[in-house]
Structure 1
Amino acid sequence: MKQLILVSHGSFADGLKTSLAMFAGDKIDQVMAVGLKNGADVDDLAVEFSRRLEEDNIDSGTGLIVLADIIGGSPLTTVCNVLEKRGLLDGAVILGGMNLPMALNALVMKDVMSGDEFATTVLSEARNAVQEFRIGVSDDEEDDI
């Protein structure tokens, strides 16, 4: 079984995990959310994340999928540094620009697909979800204005 790790600035990852529970509550125990809290520094995040890895018994036998709000951001680089120090970074799939469709697809597909196929599918679904919502106006409604 693979573990999904949501990483963000602030409490975005926590909120996303709460939303995921509405759609895939039976898998929510396979999701960890960590964020760089306002006023905290990356050392605080590293300590918290290390503690959480120990509590959840994450070891080299656990496949990891890391979704981050921003690629290259300090929360993600901190999480990657902790994973590297623990020998957990090799084989991890790391994707950025997370949104709810991305996280939901990652959670549902993580034990079905792997590698490039997994990354391509999850990223494609995330991109497809980003679009403008337009409300259509019928001719009859325009006449009433």
Structure 2
Amino acid sequence: MNYLILVSHGRFSEGLKDALSMFIGDEIKTVKAVGMHSGEDTAKFEERFKALLSELEPDANLIVLGDIIGGSPLTTAINIIHQSGQLSKTTILGGMNFPMALNAAILKDSLDPDNLTQAVLTEATTAVKKFELSADDDDDEI
């Protein structure tokens, strides 16, 4: 089984998971979210992340999306995954946004890790752009 794990500061990952549920339906059961709450130390977050990992199948492949590469939540999660011996079965990406998470959730069971990484990163960067109205858009409803 492949799991998507969303890791963030605050409740960002939990909110993102909630939004994903509107798009992926039953597949949401393979998406997990954990955030380091305001005022929480890394030891407490570590306990909660270990508990999350213990709920997963031992031979699971993991796709971990973090809000910030180098941030405490993602580095703590990576350390725990490494200690559990699952790092070789884990793809880790940072800079999490909704298009990235949606593509990871949809494609995680159909692409190998390298192709999944490429697809998810391409979508994540393609989706970030400035929204502009053209003169032709004036007559259209927004």
Partner of 2:88: 90
Q: 2:103 aligns with which of 102, 105, 114?
A: 105
SS of equivalent to 1:75: helix
Structure 1 pair 44/123, CA: closer, same or farther in 2 (3 Å)?
A: same
- Counterpart code for 2:31: V
Structure 1 runs of 4+ aligned residues shifted over 6 Å read none
> Is the contact between residue 60 and residue 89 of structure 2 (CA under 8 Å) also seen in structure 1?
no
Separation of aligned partners in 1, 2:17 and 2:114: 24
SS of equivalent to 2:75: helix
Separation of aligned partners in 2, 1:110 and 1:37: 27
- Counterpart code for 1:57: L
- Counterpart code for 1:2: N
Partner of 2:34: 34
Shift of 1:51: 1.2
The alignment's C-alpha RMSD in Å is 1.6
SS of equivalent to 1:44: helix
Of all paired residues, the percent bearing the same amino acid is: 48
Which structure's CA Rg is the greater one? Answer: 1
Separation of aligned partners in 2, 1:130 and 1:123: 11
Partner of 1:73: 71
Unaligned runs of 5+ in 2: none
Partner of 2:10: 10
Separation of aligned partners in 1, 2:104 and 2:75: 20
Separation of aligned partners in 1, 2:30 and 2:40: 26
Separation of aligned partners in 2, 1:4 and 1:57: 11
TM-score after normalising by structure 2: 0.92
Aligned residues: 139
Structure 1 pair 130/139, CA: closer, same or farther in 2 (3 Å)?
A: closer
**Are 1:62 and 2:60 matched, yes or no?**
yes
- Counterpart code for 1:94: I
Structure 1 pair 86/139, CA: closer, same or farther in 2 (3 Å)?
A: closer
Shift of 1:91: 2.3
- Counterpart code for 2:129: Q
TM-score after normalising by structure 1: 0.91
